[in-house]
Structures are given as structure tokens and as C-alpha cells.
Amino acid sequence: MLLLVIITPPYALLVMLCFPLPHRLRRQSVVPWVTMATWLIKHLLRIDYRVLGLENMPDRPSVILAKHQSAWETIVLQMIFPWTLFVWKSELKRLPFFGWALAATPMISIDRAGGKESLRQLVEQGRMRLSQGYWVIIFPEGTRTPVGSHRRYKIGGAHLAVETGAPAVPVALDSGEFWSRRAFIKYPGTVTVSIGPAIDPAGLTAEDVNARAEAWMESEMRRICPHRYERDSTRPTA
């Protein structure tokens, strides 16, 4: 954290200077920071990762629906998926340095309190970025959720897939085992990132896509983190 606090402000200023450049160069400007942060995570925190299901990655830009348990995936997923963009709430741009730099990149910014207007913003910007060759990462639970629990899956990512025809790719991961929400102390280990079969949205509703993604992701979480769901197995079934 100390190293990132020292390095990020001057680097963010450099990213901000890239604002007049084409979108690809602006996105590329953050790659060295992501690479450096991933190196620090691996070698200082000793948190490595392994990826399962790489064969499930489509050969075209897609909508990634991923579990969200810590800041880990906001950094390292960019090393796994090509030319990624995140959907982020527009108020983050007010954060000093980090938020200002984020605003200079071609990320997808929406007003999360806007209801239908938020969905319209997501589809409008998402359609454009997918057509430009970017992969869009969305956390359907909306916020960081501890391993072994889950929140209601929001419809936005599935809606974007249906409206644009892009495949929806479910991703389960267990970063929270080593880097939990708002935790200052991190623990060494290997994060498992599991990529599920892509969901073709053709002929499906957003609710259908969302339900299929949720079913696979929650089932896969029980496979890669069975100890976190032992209580579920002791409950009587209907």
C-alpha cells in the first residue's frame, strides 16, 4: 500500500496528460501500472493466481460477469482478459489522482442511482466499446461480497449482452480467501479464477442470461471453495 501511495499520484498525472490521445492509447497508458501492481501482489504479498477454463473464452469481445470479493480482481483480471474495460460509478471520478486518471481512460461510467437511465448509459457506452474491440467487465453483485455468500445479481451486464448480442462469460473466483473486503492484512496463497462456458444471448431475455450466469457462478464457487459452503450442505432440502 505504501508503494502504491507513492507511485500512483505521479503516474495518475501522466495518465491524465494522455486525455487528448485516441482511446486505445489512453487505455494502453494504464497497462504499466497494472503490470507493476500485479507484480507487487505476487512478489510482496505472495498472492499468485491460476486460471481454469481458458478454453471457454470466446474469440470476440464479450461481457464478463465476474464475482467481486476484493480489489484484487479490479487489477489482475486486466492481465487475464484482453483489452478490458470496467463499468464504474461516475462518482469515483472525484477521487483524487486515481479517480481523475480513471476518468481519462475509456472506461464505462454510469450513474448507478439513475435506474433506467443507468441501463441506457450502460448500453450506449457498452455497445460503442464492444464495437471498438474491448471486453467489458461487470460485477453483477454490485459490490464486494465475502466468499461463501452472495448478493442479488443485478441485470445490467446481462442486459448489455442481450442488447448488443455479445456473449456473456461468467467468472467465479476466490480472491476473498486471501484479500478480504476492506482488510488491511492480506494472506499469501493462490487465487483460483474459473471461466465458465459463454452464454449466447440470442433468443434469451436479460433475465434468462442473468439466471444462467448466476446458477453457474454460484455452483462453481461451491466447487472451488467447498469449505465455505459446508453449512449449506447440512441444511435439509425441500
Residue 172 lies in a domain: yes
Mean pLDDT of 14-41: 93
Residue 120 lies in a domain: yes
Q: pLDDT per residue over 149-206, tens digit each?
A: 989 999 999 999 999 999 999 999 999 999 987 778 899 999 999 999 999 999 999 9
**CATH code of the domain containing 130:** 3.40.1130.10
The span from the CA of 235 to the CA of 89, in Å, is 38
Q: What is the pTM of this model?
A: 0.90
Residue 98 lies in a domain: yes
Range of the domain at 86: 2-227
The span from the CA of 173 to the CA of 194, in Å, is 6
State whether residue 138 is helix, strand or coil. strand
Mean pLDDT of 25-49: 95
Residue 19 lies in a domain: yes
Residue 234 lies in a domain: no
Mean pLDDT of 65-77: 95
Residue 237 lies in a domain: no
Domains of the chain: total: 1
